[in-house]
């Protein structure tokens, strides 16, 4: 290793505070430092190459690494105009907003910010302001589902159904109320024919328990991502929409992970005929070549904030500083062009099915695999010690498998310090350019690791 490499490692060790990491281990081992990416592969500072089946570690580099056209689009725009606050418009902001809503029938307005957590915060503020304007402040509660994740800020954690992620960060924002999950593999009702409808009725129970006149919105992932890659059971979403309409509850869909083609449709909610009032987007919007997030609403929601110009209380009194950086929408425009021109939504559907079929074959081979599930290139492998009892493996087992995969040149994700007992799902979220050869490498590596695994 060169002197420069050693210097960088020591700089990192001494001064960088890594996300989701216990730094005491770095006293005896070097921090991982990534230095290069191309296509679906990344290289670390020691020259090791990995196929990245986590799209950047947190499921966001959708179109892959090394996209010079996105970098060029950002540079050209920043030289022309790098920034102006969101109180004014910009050319890339206007162009991308139109392009985005063209893929989202019934949605019409785009509010820019910088991260998924922030996008959800904006949605919560929209709901709360409507509550004050229209309902005298009473219809302010926001329901959220067990196992869903909506961000790392205090308000976003207040709406997150993962107990370990919330641990030590309370007290939380009042007015956020949890209701049960919809994971059929871990049915709350035993073996039933109408699990989807029963799970949806848990939402209605929560609304009635809280009082329908106090509930303003419900936030849901179309497919639960970091909570275990949970695909909704048949009958779930039609009943959820019926309940929201019946009790006048706004439906907020968190597409931060699923959006922009990841699941084999432009948006995850489009698999299920969902008609949202609010949709939040981030990660895949610009494939993390620039920081950008979007809170997208219907015209009906937008119209709640129209009034006379002199009315200081009617408009949405919010701003996000870096939403005014033009590099975000410039990157997003080029990112969307790549997705369209290269047919990456379709590729996600095709290669996702190929991977899911392969994972199903591994399930037949290895008893530790209790369930495989997902949609498009968002897939989960739930690990158990006993298939009959569905006893989850300890988190250390999932950690060991991920480490063994990395030693073989494959980066995968997993449920990470999210739950008390259910950190037992391996997660695959590769770049949307995935080829069959790369998919075969993922499957063969997992096959080898499960074959070598000793508990």
Mean pLDDT of 398-426: 96
Name the E strands within 303-455. 369-375, 378-386, 391-392, 410-411, 413-414, 425-428
> How many helices (H) and strands (E) are present in the chain, helices listed first?
13, 16
DSSP run (H or E) holding 279: strand 278-281
Q: What are phi and psi of 291, to 5 degrees?
A: -85, 120
* Per-residue pLDDT tens over the stretch 189-217: 999 999 999 999 999 999 999 999 999 99
Contacts of 411 (CB under 8 A, 6+ apart): 42, 50, 51, 52, 53, 54, 57, 405
Question: Predicted confidence band at 312 (pLDDT cuts at 50, 70, 90)?
Answer: confident
User: Per DSSP, what are the bridge partners of residue 215?
Assistant: 141
Task: Select from 245, 229, 207, 203 the least CA-distant residue to 59.
Answer: 229
Q: Is residue 423 exposed (0-12), middle (13-18) or buried (19+ Cβ within 10 Å)?
A: buried
**pTM given for the model:** 0.97
Examine the pLDDT at 171 and tell me if it is beyond 60.
yes
Q: Do residues 268 and 223 lie in contact, with contact meaning Cβ atoms separated by under 8 Å?
A: yes
Examine the pLDDT at 3 and tell me if it is beyond 70.
no
Contacts of 241 (CB under 8 A, 6+ apart): 251, 274, 275
Question: Predicted confidence band at 313 (pLDDT cuts at 50, 70, 90)?
Answer: confident
Q: Is residue 164 exposed (0-12), middle (13-18) or buried (19+ Cβ within 10 Å)?
A: middle
Mean pLDDT of 165-184: 97
Q: What are phi and psi of 218, to 5 degrees?
A: -130, 135
Average pLDDT over all residues of the chain: 96
How far does Cα 13 stand from its chain's mean position? 29
Q: Is residue 240 exposed (0-12), middle (13-18) or buried (19+ Cβ within 10 Å)?
A: buried
pLDDT value, residue 4: 53
Examine the pLDDT at 151 and tell me if it is beyond 90.
yes
pLDDT value, residue 1: 41
Examine the pLDDT at 2 and tell me if it is beyond 50.
no
Q: What are phi and psi of 222, to 5 degrees?
A: -65, -40
Q: What is the dihedral of CA 211, 212, 216, 221, to 10 degrees?
A: 100
Name the E strands within 369-422. 369-375, 378-386, 391-392, 410-411, 413-414
Q: Answer left, alpha or beta for residue 55, where phi above 0 means left and psi between -120 and 50 means alpha.
A: left
Q: What percent of the chain has pLDDT over 70?
A: 99
pLDDT value, residue 340: 98
Q: What percent of the chain has pLDDT over 90?
A: 96
* Per-residue pLDDT tens over the stretch 234-259: 999 999 999 999 999 999 999 999 99
Task: Select from 151, 179, 177 the least CA-distant residue to 166.
Answer: 151
Half-sphere exposure of 187 (CA within 13 A, CB side): 14
Q: Do residues 87 and 256 lie in contact, with contact meaning Cβ atoms separated by under 8 Å?
A: no
């Amino acid at each position: 290793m060169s002197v420069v490499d050693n210097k960088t490692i020591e700089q990192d060790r001494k001064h960088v505070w890594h996300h989701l990491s216990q730094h005491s281990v770095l006293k005896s081992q070097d921090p991982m430092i990534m230095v290069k990416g191309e296509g679906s592969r990344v290289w670390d500072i020691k020259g090791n190459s990995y196929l990245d089946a986590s799209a950047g570690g947190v499921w966001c580099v959708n179109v892959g690494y090394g996209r010079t056209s996105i970098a060029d689009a950002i540079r050209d725009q920043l030289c022309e105009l790098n920034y102006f606050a969101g109180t004014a418009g910009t050319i890339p902001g206007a162009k991308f907003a139109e392009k985005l809503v063209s893929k989202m029938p019934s949605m019409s307005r785009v509010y820019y910010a910088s991260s998924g957590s922030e996008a959800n915060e904006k949605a919560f503020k929209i709901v709360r302001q409507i509550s004050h304007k229209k309902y005298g402040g009473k219809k302010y509660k926001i329901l959220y589902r067990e196992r869903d994740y909506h961000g790392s800020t205090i308000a976003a954690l207040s709406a997150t159904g993962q107990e370990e992620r919330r641990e030590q960060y309370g007290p939380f924002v009042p007015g956020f109320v949890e209701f049960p999950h919809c994971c059929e593999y871990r049915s709350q009702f035993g073996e039933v024919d109408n699990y989807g409808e029963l799970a949806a009725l848990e939402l209605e129970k929560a609304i009635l328990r809280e009082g329908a006149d106090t509930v303003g919105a419900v936030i849901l992932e179309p497919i639960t991502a970091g909570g275990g890659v949970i695909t909704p059971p048949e009958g779930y979403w039609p009943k959820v929409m019926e309940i929201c309409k019946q009790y006048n509850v706004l439906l907020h869909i968190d597409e931060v992970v699923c959006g922009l083609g990841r699941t084999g449709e432009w948006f995850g909610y489009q698999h299920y005929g969902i008609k949202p009032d609010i949709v939040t987007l981030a990660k895949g919007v610009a494939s993390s070549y620039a920081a950008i997030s979007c809170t997208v609403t219907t015209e009906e929601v937008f119209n709640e904030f129209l009034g006379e110009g002199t009315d200081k209380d009617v408009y949405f009194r919010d701003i996000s500083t870096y939403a005014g950086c033009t590099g975000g929408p410039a990157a997003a425009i080029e990112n969307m062009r790549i997705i369209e021109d290269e047919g990456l939504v379709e590729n996600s559907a095709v290669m996702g099915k190929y991977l899911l079929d392969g994972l199903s074959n591994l399930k037949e081979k290895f008893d530790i695999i209790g369930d495989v599930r997902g949609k498009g290139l968002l897939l989960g492998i739930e690990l158990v010690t006993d298939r009959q009892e569905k006893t989850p493996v300890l988190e250390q087992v999932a950690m060991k498998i991920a480490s063994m995969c990395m030693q073989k040149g494959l980066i995968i994700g997993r449920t990470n310090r999210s739950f008390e007992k259910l950190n037992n799902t391996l997660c695959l979220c590769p770049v949307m350019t995935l080829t069959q050869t790369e998919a075969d490498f993922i499957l063969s590596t997992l096959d080898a690791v499960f074959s070598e695994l000793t508990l």
